[in-house]
């Protein structure tokens, strides 16, 4: 007996045993098992139906994926209203094809591995499939009959999408035009024919447009949407969606309201050089062109550029207001440009015109300041660099500071780092471009002039807050306020006690003659110093007064002295605070330019149980070098 005969006999015996087990089991319906091969605990009452499922994993274009198929049998029994389920019968055949919107069905021939009610097989999709939403169509057959099913299979390249609209603001009744570009995420190459759809949502989130639109040969897709005259106002959203990638842009829909009048202004010259005086001329006119007389113009300035403008420009010299004449025109006189102007700077004036009726419109004007009358940009063949000992080709483009081309003009190019360089004569063409060859020579240092120094005005050391009179409940009289402000120079000496608390509240009782009967403040040194100075002052004669007022200090530009305490045992309680007060009391005695450690140390001694601390002699600090 050969091996095949032995194997056949073994399977036959196994089948007989299984049949015997099934027929001998009281919990198996024999009729459905014989007819369909289904193991059901109770016989079905009616027709047994089947469903199937097809699962796809790892499928991609040109790559290996995997298909899993299984069937399920559904039936009901006489005593039950619910549907029962059991695994389906053995699968006899499965045929799979790939379908899409714009393609003929493509038959796939996977090698199926059939096992009872399941089937599995590897699958490989064609590598040249374009992006799109595909379906796997399966025709199958079991003992229960034939069937078919479709499984969605989207195949899309990872992408980036950018959406734009023709403008950001629309009014009801306009047509919104939009466009998108779709690029491959890996290298930003256009994705041709990429499927997608336009989606437009109103401010409430309701979708008003959902339209299929595929990208063109260059990855660009366009669309439009007409707004109804009764369209909701607010922020609308326009997006283009392709599979799981999308981009969204917001637009505003609101009725247009044209202003009754407008303000316009221009500089008298395209740019201004050092020592010139700029001026700005403007007009305020109605939409009809008629002038708006006597309108008031409010002006705020912004200065941009590396060059620091004089501090007095923003403080006092730049005009802040203007009044329009009867002809609707106005003129702004700007301060003279200093001779230390470097590079370019831009003065931007934000204008706000208010007409006699109180309506307001805004505008702006820019004034360009330039140290030189030309602006030059250079390009070389070696990544904008020059190589020593090499005949470098360089292209120069010359314009005016405001960007106008300087055509057909002779120029001289000199090495700024070589004072003896005679220069190279060349000429600009009609586009303001010159071509020349140059050897930069040996590397050298170039001195760049520093920007002019504009020291900021130092803030007041002490300022006074509002004085409150407690007897009459009114504020201080004008005469008292003037006198209180005269106290500030004397109070500035107390700023050396500046610490964490920089505001001092003082209470004053003043008699009819203006004398200070009492002055109270806090217990810290800054407050006590303030109270001492106030007690020596007077106010104008008048009624009796009881004031509460505050003084705010800033840290003065004095040197600071810090001390560290070292002791053989624990230092007495409060000793560190006492030393801190002593160091602050010496601030006005310290030199302003010295910095570092002092070469001496102060010794001290304290007795247990006594509050008295005895200061000893000064000894040299061996860790600090003696200054000469």
pLDDT at 584: 80
pLDDT tens-digit map of 538-568: 999 988 999 999 999 998 888 887 777 877 7
d(CA 414, CA 424): 6
Instruction: Using pLDDT thresholds of 50, 70 and 90, give the confidence band for residue 411.
Output: very high
User: Which CATH number is 462-553 given?
Assistant: 3.30.1150
Give the chain's mean pLDDT.
Answer: 87
Rank 87-101, 108-122, 241-255, 470-484 by mean pLDDT and report only the highest: 241-255
Q: Which tokens belong to 93?
A: 């055949």
d(CA 609, CA 603): 20
How many other C-beta atoms are found inside a 10 Å radius of the C-beta of residue 148? 10
pLDDT at 546: 93
What's 587's DSSP letter? G
Q: Which residues contact 230 (CB under 8 A, 6 or more apart)?
A: 172
d(CA 189, CA 241): 18
The three-state DSSP-derived secondary structure of 475-531 is ECCHHHHHHHHHCHHHHHHHHHHCCCCCEEEEEEEECCCCEEEEEECCCCHHHHHHH
**Residue whose token pair is 């922020």:** 235
Cβ atoms of residues 73 and 61 within 8 Å: no
d(CA 479, CA 454): 37
Among 52, 39, 35, which residue's Cα sits nearest to residue 91?
52
3-state SS assignment for residue 301: strand
| pTM exceeds cut of 0.85 | no
Return the domain boundaries, the chain.
Answer: 3-155, 159-253, 261-370, 375-414+424-438, 462-553, 562-628
Q: Is the pLDDT of residue 102 over 80?
A: no
Mean per-residue pLDDT for 30-46?
80
pLDDT tens-digit map of 428-453: 999 999 999 988 888 888 888 888 98
pLDDT tens-digit map of 144-193: 888 999 999 999 999 999 999 999 999 999 999 999 999 999 999 999 99
User: 3-155 with 261-370: one CATH topology?
Assistant: yes
- 3-155 is classed in which CATH architecture? Sandwich (2.60)
Instruction: Using pLDDT thresholds of 50, 70 and 90, give the confidence band for residue 90.
Output: confident
pLDDT at 110: 85
pLDDT at 627: 60
Residue 131, CA distances (Å) to 159, 193, 196, 211, 378 in order: 11, 8, 10, 18, 46
Angle between helices 525-535 and 575-585 (to 10 degrees): 50
Domain 159-253 homologous superfamily, CATH: Macroglobulin (MG2) domain (2.60.40.1930)
Q: Is the pLDDT of residue 72 over 70?
A: yes
**Residue whose token pair is 């199926």:** 112
Length of the chain: 628
3-state SS assignment for residue 357: coil
pLDDT at 547: 92
Q: Which tokens belong to 478?
A: 């004008």
Among 109, 146, 124, 7, which residue's Cα sits nearest to residue 60?
124
Terminal alpha carbon distance of the chain:
119
Quickly list H helices, 146-189.
none
pLDDT tens-digit map of 342-396: 999 999 999 999 998 888 999 999 999 999 999 999 998 887 788 888 888 999 9
Can you state the percent helix, strand and coil of the chain, rounding each to 5?
15, 40, 45
pLDDT tens-digit map of 218-263: 999 999 999 999 999 999 999 999 999 999 999 999 998 878 899 9
Q: Residue 606 belongs to what H/E stretch?
A: strand 600-606
Q: Is the pLDDT of residue 18 over 60?
A: no
Right CATH number for 261-370 from 2.60.40.10, 3.40.50.11740, 3.40.50.300, 2.60.40.1930?
2.60.40.1930
pLDDT tens-digit map of 309-348: 999 998 899 999 999 999 999 999 999 999 999 999 999 9
Q: Residue 152 belongs to what H/E stretch?
A: strand 145-155
Q: Which tokens belong to 363?
A: 């505008």
3-state SS assignment for residue 20: helix
pLDDT at 435: 92
pLDDT at 1: 53
């Amino acid at each position: 007996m050969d091996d095949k005969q032995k194997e056949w006999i073994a399977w036959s015996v196994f089948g007989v045993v299984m049949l015997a087990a099934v027929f001998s089991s009281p919990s198996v319906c024999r009729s459905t098992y014989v007819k369909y091969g289904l193991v059901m605990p109770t016989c079905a009452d009616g027709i047994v139906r089947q469903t199937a499922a097809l699962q796809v994993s790892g499928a991609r274009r040109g790559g290996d994926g995997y298909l899993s198929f299984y069937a399920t049998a559904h039936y009901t029994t006489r005593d039950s209203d619910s549907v029962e389920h059991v695994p389906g019968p053995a699968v006899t055949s499965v045929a799979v094809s790939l379908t899409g919107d714009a393609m003929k069905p493509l038959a796939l021939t996977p090698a199926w591995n059939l096992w009872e009610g399941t089937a599995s097989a590897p699958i490989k999709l064609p590598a040249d499939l374009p992006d799109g939403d595909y379906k796997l169509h399966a025709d199958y057959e079991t003992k229960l009959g034939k069937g078919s099913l479709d499984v969605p299979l989207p195949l899309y390249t990872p992408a980036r999408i950018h959406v734009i609209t023709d403008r950001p603001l629309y009014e009801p009744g306009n047509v919104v035009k939009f466009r998108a570009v779709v690029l491959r995420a890996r290298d930003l190459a256009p994705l041709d024919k990429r499927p997608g759809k336009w989606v437009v949502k109103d401010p409430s989130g309701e979708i008003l447009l959902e339209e299929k639109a595929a990208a063109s040969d260059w990855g660009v897709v366009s669309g439009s949407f007409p707004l109804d005259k009764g369209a909701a106002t607010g922020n609308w959203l326009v997006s283009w969606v392709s599979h799981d990638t999308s981009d969204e842009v917001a637009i505003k829909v609101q009725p247009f309201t044209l202003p009754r009048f407008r303000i316009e202004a221009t500089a008298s010259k395209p740019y201004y050089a050092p020592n010139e005086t700029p001026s700005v001329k403007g007009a305020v006119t109605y939409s009809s062109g008629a002038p708006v007389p006597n309108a008031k113009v409010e002006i705020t300035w912004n200065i941009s550029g590396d060059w620091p403008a004089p501090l007095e420009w923003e403080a006092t010299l730049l005009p802040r207001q203007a009044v329009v004449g009867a002809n609707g025109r106005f003129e702004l006189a700007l301060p003279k440009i200093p001779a230390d102007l470097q590079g370019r700077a831009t003065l931007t004036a934000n204008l706000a015109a208010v007409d006699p009726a109180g309506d307001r419109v805004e505008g702006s004007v820019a004034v360009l300041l330039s140290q030189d009358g030309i602006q030059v940009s250079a390009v070389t063949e070696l990544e904008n660099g020059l190589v020593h000992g090499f005949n470098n080709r360089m292209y120069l483009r010359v314009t005016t500071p405001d960007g106008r081309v300087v055509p057909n003009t002779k120029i001289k190019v000199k090495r700024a780092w070589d004072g003896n360089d005679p220069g190279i004569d060349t000429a600009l063409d009609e586009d303001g471009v010159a071509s020349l060859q140059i050897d930069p020579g040996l590397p050298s240092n170039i001195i760049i002039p520093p920007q002019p120094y504009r020291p900021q005005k130092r803030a007041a050391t002490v300022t006074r807050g509002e004085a409150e009179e407690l007897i009459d409940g009114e504020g201080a009289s004008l005469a008292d306020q003037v006198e209180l402000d005269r106290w500030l120079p004397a109070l500035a000496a107390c700023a050396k006690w500046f610490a964490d608390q920089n505001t001092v509240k003082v209470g004053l009782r003043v008699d009819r003659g203006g004398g200070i009967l009492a002055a109270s403040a806090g217990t810290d040194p800054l407050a006590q110093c303030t109270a001492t100075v106030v007690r020596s002052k007077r106010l104008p004669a008048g009624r009796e007064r009881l004031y509460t007022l505050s003084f705010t200090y800033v840290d003065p530009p004095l040197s600071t002295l810090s001390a560290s305490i070292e002791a053989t045992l624990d230092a007495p309680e409060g000793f560190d605070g006492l030393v801190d007060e002593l160091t602050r009391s010496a601030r006005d005695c310290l030199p302003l330019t010295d910095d570092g450690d002092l070469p001496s140390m102060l010794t001290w001694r304290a007795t247990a149980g006594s509050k008295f601390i005895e200061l000893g002699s000064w000894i040299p600090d061996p860790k600090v070098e003696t200054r000469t």
